Structure 1
Amino acid sequence: MNDADAQMIARRVREELARRRLSRQALADMARVSISTLEKALSGRRAFTLATVIRLEQALGVPLQKIPAASPADPLVASPDNLGAYSQNAVRWLEGRYLTLRPSFGTPGDIFAYVTIIQWDAEQGCLVFSEAERLDSSFSQSGKVSLPHLSGHIYLVTNVEGQYRLAVLGRPTIQGALYGILTTLMVGHGSQLIPAAAPFVMLRLKAETEIAFGRIEANHPDYVRYRAELDLVTSDGFAHFPK
């Protein structure tokens, strides 16, 4: 990596830190690099390694390296502008399977638990998501993932003939958990659909972990743990529901 590229990367990182009001120590923790390595690279006293740059890209969710122009025959290497213009390499950290939690709209107190899968779609040139293990499988959603640089949030967008469903999630915690809000439609009186919003949580799944899916009632062994995760949405300031 030449000096010009290193200076460009350092400038981009400093801009992201200032825009997000993020400390260098916090970024170092998110990227799993030492604070000493980060400080020296940003000051020009040590060259950026490729591994460090990739980790910083994953932590910030933005490309830091120059993206080569793709020929018409090549697969898309960056998402459309209206999804945030993110590169595939910069969002690999978000791919995976997640335990997804939200309150039940039909039965107060109950929790719905299912799987959300996020992966790169080469044909569409962006991250896409789909749902599985839903108790109401006919209502399973799929769509595209937007990661705009300005807000620093993650958006799961479903658009079916102009009808939208939207989840807005903050950046992942150290454990890879995502917390935010789901806005959708629920059945009201009769067959009438009405807008609804609720806390929304996505926890990265590990292959060896046994997980309970479906409707989780108050007497279920996992209820207390799932409820505590949903409560973090507001108690830890990931989202706000005005009264």
Structure 2
Amino acid sequence: MTTSATDPTDAETDSAELARLVREEIARRRISRQALADMARISLSTLEKALAGKRSFTLATLLRIEDALGVSLRPGGESLAASAMAGPIVPDVAPDTMGAYARSAVTWLEGRYLTLRPSFGTPGGLFAYLTTVCWMPEKGCLGFAESGRSDSRFEQAGHVSMPNLSGHIYLVTNEQGQYRLAILSRPTIEGQMFGILTTLEVGSGSQLVPAAAPIALRKLADGENVELGLVTADMGHFSGYSEMLGRATGGDFARLHLPS
């Protein structure tokens, strides 16, 4: 009796092999599972369950992980071992258009960041979410991805530019020609970055309106958890978040000019 192509044992073996390959790639790149989940734009729970063999990798999840890692993990694609032997897909130096920075020179920027900006929908409120920065080998530059947003459908991902000329850090999203840009200072001794976010705000109906706001990021320690989502004045962590965000303009890291 022959075994069919859909034999559950084969499926379990394939899933276990995929989990092994992903774990090896995480270890080889020295990134955390949370960082991979953020860059792949999947939940940490989904990734953990797949790596533990508690659920199979869906095609959508696998495609997102492959895109984040820059390798093919599916049967018939380039094997992970072959990819590693072939070396980097692109040099470990970002393109001139992003500042021509070397990977070895920007490892200090990689990590997870608490990100704060004013709430666009709640006057006086703040909006808190996570931004993960890590190297994208398939693109040869730093990339970033947002997570933990209560409005997850608006989560952004893109590349990081670091030109020496300005000494600033740029988080750039480009989706089919539609841009969103955050211009940030270099980190302070406390690991905080401040700047301005330019984006599109939802207006009346389906209208999108250009908007600008101060923004602040603080690098998180491994395993550190912070409060995310809408933050209002009646919450205990509002004061600390508000003080941090206020440094963006109060500390002259960014300026918002309005006609008098």
Normalization by structure 2: what TM-score? 0.64
SS of the residue corresponding to residue 225 of structure 1 reads helix
* 1:142 counterpart = 2:154: no
Gaps of 5+ in 1: 1-70
SS of the residue corresponding to residue 186 of structure 1 reads strand
Gaps of 5+ in 2: 1-85
Residue 147 of structure 2, aligned match among 132, 136, 140: 132
- Name the CA shift for 1:233/1:73 in 2 (closer, same or farther; >3 Å): closer
Amino acid at match of 1:216: V
Distance 1:72 1:204 in 2: 30
Residue 215 of structure 1, aligned match among 230, 234, 237: 230
Match of 2:105 in 1: 90
Match of 2:184 in 1: 169
What displacement does 1:120 show?
0.4
Residue 249 of structure 2, aligned match among 234, 239, 243: 234
- Name the CA shift for 1:73/1:157 in 2 (closer, same or farther; >3 Å): closer
SS of the residue corresponding to residue 207 of structure 1 reads coil
Match of 1:68 in 2: none
Residue 194 of structure 1, aligned match among 184, 204, 209: 209
- Contact 1:76–1:124 under 8 Å retained in 2: no
* 1:77 counterpart = 2:100: no
Match of 2:21 in 1: none
Matched pairs, number: 173
SS of the residue corresponding to residue 143 of structure 1 reads strand
Percent of residue pairs bearing the same amino acid type: 53
- List structure 1 segments (4+ residues) > 2 angstroms apart after TM superposition: 71-75, 207-210
SS of the residue corresponding to residue 82 of structure 1 reads helix
Amino acid at match of 1:185: L
Normalization by structure 1: what TM-score? 0.69
Match of 2:121 in 1: 106
Distance 1:73 1:214 in 2: 37
Amino acid at match of 2:159: K
* 1:180 counterpart = 2:198: no
- Contact 2:89–2:137 under 8 Å retained in 1: no
